Structure 1
Amino acid sequence: MRHLRRNPLTRRPAAAAVAALAALTLGGCGLGDPADSGSPGPAATGGEVKGKVSLQTWALKPKFTAYMEKVIDGFEKKYPGVQVEWLDQPGEGYSEKVLSQSAGGTLPDVVNLPPDFALPLVRQGMLLDIGKADPAAAKDYVKGGLDAYRFAGQEGTYGYPWYLNTDVNYWNGELFTKYGLDPKKPPASLDELVRAARTVKEKSGGRTYLMSRKPNLIDLANAGVPLMDAEGTRFTFNTPEAAAVLDTYRAAYQEGLLPKDVLTETYAGNTKLFSAGTAAWTTAGANYITSLAVDNPTLAPKVVSSPAMGTPPLYVQGLSVPKNTRNPAAALALARWVTNAENQAAFARETSIFPSTTASAADPFFSESDGSNAGDAKVTAFRSLATARVLEPVQANEAVKTLVNQQIALAISGQAGSKEALDTAVARANRMIED
């Protein structure tokens, strides 16, 4: 699943929003509605919270129907003069549905939008700047989550972060020990990873890999490469620093530190190799060990986790309010209510995501491990959210990423120079976003 930018309920894109997701300068002291714990909230910006208000989510039915109905009932109880209409759209075709609604002027009052779905509406001036409408949001939600709804070339913040996820490194502790590596001190940089991969190759006789995926845009971002210009109009990742990353991977590939078929379209993927025990490292969301226990119960207890190398990637879902809503007071209050610490914590207990409120930092469910390696991974991921950021620009859609991956494969294989491949990728990607 690769749309965690789309749906953090499952670490990759959403086939069904929550069933389709699995992601702080976390401050605060306890759970509860931020509007009830010191922050005035959007209702203070003017207007009485009453009347009809609509909320659109993405593929939460039927799995999370009971949860959402409880959240809505709580809102209507708090504001007796409000009636909420809950609309839930199927997982497939959601972006097209949102664009159709926006074109027809029928967007609901509160809309579940990942950042990449929100950007086209922001460019058309269709979404409310919640930074102006609700200034308290700046301290009640984690910075990375709010930053996801701040777009280059656009002033303002155009969504409340709802639920988050991020990536964690997973290592086969048994193989580490077997090949003389310390599972308590796994690689924390690309250079350390290459050295450890060399050790694994030599001591396993080439039967086991540590590195088992090619680099992508996130790897370039973590090397300090600016992926786009400040205005968000042009890709700019064809830099010497980016070329150096590809050079490192090409040398590792030629040395046999990666599987030969890692550059092909038929490659099984490093997570599958990890599950099979032929690769000793993978990245995945916070709940990976739990799912691995189903696929490979023998391996799962041997896995150790560590934070993602560099800046952890952030996957975000959020709620936006159209500028033309007929009931802004109720819409802002509803978006706040759905995304408050208490409701997000309840949601996280039903699925594998993390809340986006600063108040959630004090919740031991997220911040304390039960002593299992799965519990340790959850805490590792949660702590990583303090510095996690959306690393891939929302302009890097699937077509752009496919193009970039193809050029990266040519560079790693030696069929093109690293700078040449990056120049080609940038030029073609820029033409794609101009069209």
Structure 2
Amino acid sequence: MRRYWTRLTVALVATAALAGCGLGGSKASEDTGGAVTGAVKGKVSLQTWALKPKFTDYMQGVIDAFEQKYPGTQVDWLDQPGDGYADKVLSQAAGGTLPDVVNLPPDFALPLVGRNLLLDVGQADPALTADYVAGGIDAYRFPGHTGAYGYPWYLNTDVNYWNGDLLSRYGLDPKKPPTTLDELIAQAATVKERSGGQVYLMSRKPGLGDFANAGVKIMAVDGKSFTFNTPEAVALLDKYRDAFKRGLLPQDVLTDKYAGNAKLFTAGTVAWTTGGANYIGSLATDNPTLAPKVVPSPAMGTPPLYVQGLSVSAASKNRPAAVALARWVTNAGNQAAFAHLTSIFPSTKASAQDPFFARSDGSNAGDAKVIAFASLAKAAMLQPVQVDGAMSDIVNQQIALAVSGGATSQQALDTAVARCNQLLSQ
């Protein structure tokens, strides 16, 4: 993604220097806040990402209902294919043709916020914080910028999944799985000892999300530097290095050849993995005999939050209709209907009492759905959106070096922070 947004910044700098080139001139770069008032009428454009053809009927129904609720409105719905979406948004932003309402995950929204191309919907819609879950809104708040720049649309998170059969076989209680790293390490030692090293409980190295859950501040408040080389991060890496040295993780877990804990879980050689709320359903296809034995539990610490949202262009010539449309698409009823069609969760507070999400049918898959939905109340984005692919590679390489003993934890973290800060400054 870094190359997309580097090109976007260059393009925006160039086009912003040209008066009247479709970015709304100085007004678009200055007038990005304030409550939006006025009649909801006229034409307004909506861009989604890869919803056709599977969800055409659903979206068209939402649009038709909006036009009926607000007579005189006309929605121009654009749906872009999955591949190349970042390039498309880049081109639209640089050319001043960004739709009035556009589907942007937080990492796509950030560079546009930096150029004042998105509306602060927190100011435009004073009811935002009252109606949507805090984590979803916070995903569209960015360091160095005041306000919120997107309506959270649909959410997801991770759940822990345990092989109940393996835990029982090695003397552990599937109804009391680990809830902390220390408990995980202790039970991993039990599994190793009693399985003769044939089965693992731990099967992945840590990442930035684990640091965040350990109380590590990943970035400075202003978002201009990384700060995760702290004593807390060192202590966490030291625990993983010790566990790796004791053989509690697969030997190839630090290499590019590692199959991944999800595949090993499916094969029955690993007793723990993480996944979305629908994981057991997909597992039933890959390993139908294992799926009924799986026990779900909440993610350890703060659950990770995955967000899609709708942002409003600051250059929109029809802000009242744009804000109303973004709120309409993301309201409780429309989000619930969408969630019934696919494996996502709504972001509105009003959805909390919906029995479809809040009650299990008694199956382990139903339990997982309820656990995931309940987790959204405290879920948060654990990895800053500023982290791109190149930075992730650096962090992963240095973590692997520390866990393997090739460098001290402090050395590895210092190197990762220095190199990521260098990329960030570019």
* TM-score by shorter chain over 0.5: yes
Q: Could you tell me which amino acid in structure 2 is paired with residue 278 of structure 1?
A: T
- Which residue is 1:25 aligned to? none
Are 1:264 and 2:255 matched, yes or no? Answer: yes
Once the two structures are TM-superposed, the CA of residue 95 in structure 1 deviates from its matched residue by 1.5
- Which residue is 1:136 aligned to? 127
Q: How many residues align?
A: 393
- Which residue is 1:400 aligned to? 391
Q: What percentage of aligned pairs have identical amino acids?
A: 72
Aligned equivalents of 2:98, 2:294: Cα separation in 1: 45
Task: State which of 289, 307, 316 in structure 2 corresponds to 1:325.
Answer: 316
Task: State which of 336, 340, 364 in structure 2 corresponds to 1:349.
Answer: 340
Once the two structures are TM-superposed, the CA of residue 96 in structure 1 deviates from its matched residue by 2.0
Q: Secondary structure at the match of 2:341?
A: coil
- Which residue is 1:225 aligned to? 216
Aligned equivalents of 1:416, 1:198: Cα separation in 2: 24
Q: Could you tell me which amino acid in structure 1 is paired with residue 330 of structure 2?
A: T
Q: Secondary structure at the match of 1:349?
A: helix
Once the two structures are TM-superposed, the CA of residue 121 in structure 1 deviates from its matched residue by 0.6
Once the two structures are TM-superposed, the CA of residue 398 in structure 1 deviates from its matched residue by 1.6
The residue correspondences of 1:202-241 to structure 2 (distance < 5 A) are: 202-241=193-232
The residue correspondences of 1:71-110 to structure 2 (distance < 5 A) are: 71-110=62-101
Aligned equivalents of 2:261, 2:72: Cα separation in 1: 53
Once the two structures are TM-superposed, the CA of residue 94 in structure 1 deviates from its matched residue by 1.2
After TM superposition, where is structure 1 displaced by more than 2 Å over at least 4 residues in a row? Answer: none
Are 1:167 and 2:158 matched, yes or no? Answer: yes
Once the two structures are TM-superposed, the CA of residue 241 in structure 1 deviates from its matched residue by 0.6
Once the two structures are TM-superposed, the CA of residue 62 in structure 1 deviates from its matched residue by 1.2
Aligned equivalents of 2:207, 2:415: Cα separation in 1: 15
Q: Secondary structure at the match of 1:69?
A: helix
Task: State which of 408, 415, 425 in structure 1 corresponds to 2:416.
Answer: 425
Higher RCO (CA < 8 A, seq sep 6+): 1
Once the two structures are TM-superposed, the CA of residue 67 in structure 1 deviates from its matched residue by 1.0
Task: State which of 149, 171, 180 in structure 1 corresponds to 2:171.
Answer: 180
Once the two structures are TM-superposed, the CA of residue 320 in structure 1 deviates from its matched residue by 0.3
Are 1:292 and 2:283 matched, yes or no? Answer: yes
Which structure: greater helix fraction? Answer: 2
Task: State which of 281, 284, 309 in structure 1 corresponds to 2:272.
Answer: 281
Aligned equivalents of 1:331, 1:48: Cα separation in 2: 11
Q: Could you tell me which amino acid in structure 1 is paired with residue 282 of structure 2?
A: S
**Bigger Rg over Cα:** 2
- Which residue is 1:434 aligned to? 425
Report which stretch shifted further, 118-127 or 91-100: 91-100
Aligned equivalents of 2:425, 2:397: Cα separation in 1: 20
- Which residue is 2:59 aligned to? 68
Equivalent residues of 2:401, 2:412 under 8 A apart: yes
Once the two structures are TM-superposed, the CA of residue 66 in structure 1 deviates from its matched residue by 1.1
Aligned equivalents of 2:88, 2:396: Cα separation in 1: 29
Task: State which of 407, 413, 416 in structure 1 corresponds to 2:404.
Answer: 413
Q: Deviations over 1:14-69 (max 9, x none)?
A: xxxxxxxxxxxxxxxxxxxxxxxxxxxxxx94111111100001111111111111
Are 1:57 and 2:54 matched, yes or no? Answer: no
Q: Could you tell me which amino acid in structure 1 is paired with residue 114 of structure 2?
A: R
Q: Deviations over 1:75-109 (max 9, x none)?
A: 11111201111111111221221121111110000
- Which residue is 1:38 aligned to? none
Once the two structures are TM-superposed, the CA of residue 399 in structure 1 deviates from its matched residue by 1.5
- Which residue is 2:109 aligned to? 118
Once the two structures are TM-superposed, the CA of residue 326 in structure 1 deviates from its matched residue by 0.6
- Which residue is 1:313 aligned to? 304
Structure 1 unmatched ranges of 5 or more: 3-43
Task: State which of 357, 360, 371 in structure 2 corresponds to 1:369.
Answer: 360
Equivalent residues of 2:234, 2:409 under 8 A apart: yes
Once the two structures are TM-superposed, the CA of residue 189 in structure 1 deviates from its matched residue by 0.4
Aligned equivalents of 1:386, 1:83: Cα separation in 2: 35
Aligned equivalents of 2:369, 2:327: Cα separation in 1: 25
Aligned equivalents of 1:434, 1:366: Cα separation in 2: 43
Equivalent residues of 2:36, 2:319 under 8 A apart: no
Once the two structures are TM-superposed, the CA of residue 333 in structure 1 deviates from its matched residue by 0.5
Q: Could you tell me which amino acid in structure 2 is paired with residue 267 of structure 1?
A: Y
- Which residue is 2:188 aligned to? 197
Are 1:301 and 2:292 matched, yes or no? Answer: yes
